[in-house]
Every structure is written in structure tokens, then in C-alpha cells.
Amino acid sequence: MDKAQLVQILIPFVVIQAILMVTAFVFLFRAHTVRGNKWMWAAIIVFINILGPILFFAFGRKDT
């Protein structure tokens, strides 16, 4: 596998990660309340790739 093939495989994952991260940050900073601390969720979204934003949507948002 050469570099061009590897890049073609990784591009969809990078795009999905970026979309999830931006969407999660928009929801996080617009939310009036979340479960836990907003800074904690921001760190989870940034440092836990792909799963961090999914965890925020599943457990961090409060329905008001």
C-alpha cells in the first residue's frame, strides 16, 4: 500500500471526525445546561477521536 492509497482511505475518517467535532462544539456552546462541566465535554470531544462527539450527543446533552 503506497501513500496515495493510504490517504484515500484516511480522508473519509478525517472528514467524519471534523464534521462530528464541529457539530458537537456548536451544540455544546449553544446549550444552556449539559450533564457535567462544559470544559470536560470540550476535552472529551477534542481528545477522544470520533467517539468523543458521539459520547457527547449520547450522554452529555440535557433535554430541556
Reply yes or no on whether the pLDDT at 11 is more than 70. Answer: yes
> What is the count of structural domains for the chain?
1
Range of the domain at 37: 3-60
What pLDDT sits at residue 7? 93
pLDDT tens column, 20-41: 999 999 999 999 889 999 999 9
Reply yes or no on whether the pLDDT at 9 is more than 70. Answer: yes
What pLDDT sits at residue 64? 59
Assigned C-alpha cell, 14: 478525517
